[in-house]
Every structure is written in C-alpha cells, then in structure tokens.
A and B are shown apart, each in its own frame.
Chain A
Amino acid sequence: MEEKVISETKETVSMPRLGESAPAFEAVTTQGTVRLEDFKGSWLILFSHPADFTPVCTTEFMGFAEIHPELKKREAELLGLSVDSVSSHIAWVRNIEEKMGVKIPFPVIADLDKNVATLYGMIHPGESKTETSRCVFVIDPEGILRAMIYYPLTTGRNMQEILRLIDALQTTDKYKVATPANWEPGEAVIVPPPNTQEMAEERLKEGYECKDWYFCKKKL
C-alpha cells in the first residue's frame, strides 16, 4: 500500500509584546520616509486599516483626523498603515478632503511589502491574507509598546477609547497608579495594592477611599 506523505507548512506569525521595545522600522509614507526612532520623545499611535477607498476605513480616517488636535495636546502622534501604494494613499486622502471636507494631517505608511505589517502582526489570515486588520499600537516616548487594540475588518474603532487609553497610560506614568474600568480623566484612580502584610494593615489608615485593603481609590 502506498503511503501518502502529507506535508504541512505552518507560517510563524510574529506578534509584538506589551512592555517590550516596539519593533524598529523604516517606511515610506505620505509625508516622506520615516523611522520609528523619529518619534522618540513623543507618544505614537501606529494604526492599520484594511484598504484605501473603503467606507469603514474612510469613517475611521475622519475620526482619527478629528482626534488629532486632542492627541497633539497629549504629545501623541498618529501614523496610519495599509498594504497600499503611496500613490493610492495620496489619492485617497485627497478624496477624503474633497468629498468629506476633512484634511488628513498624519502620515500613512505604504506597506506594499508588508514589512511593518508582519513585524507587528497586523495581518490575520483567518480574516484576510492580504489586508491588515484594524490594529492600534500605542508606543510610549521611550519606544516601549504600551497597549494594543485589534478590531476585525467589519468594525470601526472608537476614537474616544483611544484618547481615553492615552489619558490612562499617561496618568499611570505620572502618578504611579492604575485606572479602573470605564475610567475617565478626573475620576478616582486605583492605588496599587500593598505588597506586604504590614503595608496592607497601614493601607486602611492612609486616608484613601477603600472597600478593603486591596481595593483603594484616590482622587488626583
């Protein structure tokens, strides 16, 4: 009996990890060639979209343009990406300005060779083998990857959540606290839980708003 040899090829997909240096890259964008290191000192929101001239992506680009001034106040830059040519990106952002009246102020990577998309695990073959999913990578001023959001092709992202995320990360860095579910700037933050029994006993006497020793909040 003839034996059938079935060879299976599995593709290894690299994914960046939180708390580690974001993968370095150099890429052609609508505003020239940029490197990740060019953003050092600023927060960077690197995001991907599936394709130019598609409706959900157009609403997202308008949304990103709308929050751009708010991000600038937070010293955060935006950098878009899709597997399209720079000419396609230019035509699309011009079209958005002409048809929707919204100027796109941030650069967009033309990742035709999928170099950056592969480095950041933006392509999810279960959804599409050629298009990037709706990913967001928040990179801090030191180049450390601090947060990731992945949305499917069908679902546009929530811009207010991106602003809230930046606010939460910056609050954590500034005050060494955590932020609870649905936290908004101005609301009480979580005091990191005590690490020792002695600290736990003292915690309840420290004047925080506590439900128990491990669950204390404070106003900033």
Chain B
Amino acid sequence: MACINPDGTLTVSAKAILSALSSPAALEKVAKSTDLPLFRIRSSIREMLEAGLVEKEEGKYAATKLGREKIEGGKDDQVKTDL
C-alpha cells in the first residue's frame, strides 16, 4: 500500500492527507492544502477508506477515530496492512 508502511505506520503523504481531513473536506480542498496532485489524493483516499482510516459522508471525507489516532501516533497495530 502506498499510504501505509509495512510496519503499519503512515507515509509522510498519508499523514498530510489525514491531517487535512481532521474536519470533513472535499478532495479538491485536500489537494490544495497538501499541495499533492488530485490523482494522488483520490488514490490514497481509496486505500485509506479500505484501511478504515477515512470515511465518506455527504460527498466529503473525514478521518475516522482510528485515522485521528494514527496521526497522533497511537494504535498503529489496528491498521490493516497488506504485506
């Protein structure tokens, strides 16, 4: 997975994306605030949805409880990794 390292920690770009999702946001807004291209945001969000780090609500995306814990550095072992 491009967002989650084999040891379960997040990549730098994944942390940036999750941080931008501390409150619900559209993907275009996340692309602007992280300075990452929109295709990277879409691809990463897909992975993070699968891993339970992000949820979608009314067309916007937000970090889940697990996602917020990941940015704060705790409970790494709860993330599904794909080794």
Q: Which chain B residues lie closer than 8 Å to A214 at the CB level?
A: none
Total B residues in contact with A, Cβ cutoff 8 Å: 12
**Minimal beta-carbon separation of B36 from chain A (angstroms):** 10
* Alpha-carbon distance between A33 and B48 when the two chains are bound, in angstroms: 12
Is there contact, CB below 8 Å, between A38 and B42? yes
A contact residues, range = 10 to 19
Is there contact, CB below 8 Å, between A33 and B43? yes
* Alpha-carbon distance between A198 and B57 when the two chains are bound, in angstroms: 56
A77 located at the interface, meaning its Cβ lies under 8 Å from any Cβ of chain B in the complex: yes
Q: Which chain B residues lie closer than 8 Å to A31 at the CB level?
A: 2, 40, 43
Q: Which chain B residues lie closer than 8 Å to A35 at the CB level?
A: 42-43
B residues adjacent to A (C-beta < 8 A):
1-3, 37-40, 42-44, 46-47
Please tell me which one of the listed residues B1, B37, B46, B47 contacts residue A77 in the complex, with CB atoms under 8 A apart: B37
A residues adjacent to B (C-beta < 8 A):
31-35, 37-39, 41-42, 77
Is there contact, CB below 8 Å, between B3 and A32? yes
* Alpha-carbon distance between A219 and B36 when the two chains are bound, in angstroms: 36
Is there contact, CB below 8 Å, between A34 and B43? yes
**Minimal beta-carbon separation of B83 from chain A (angstroms):** 15
* Alpha-carbon distance between A42 and B36 when the two chains are bound, in angstroms: 13
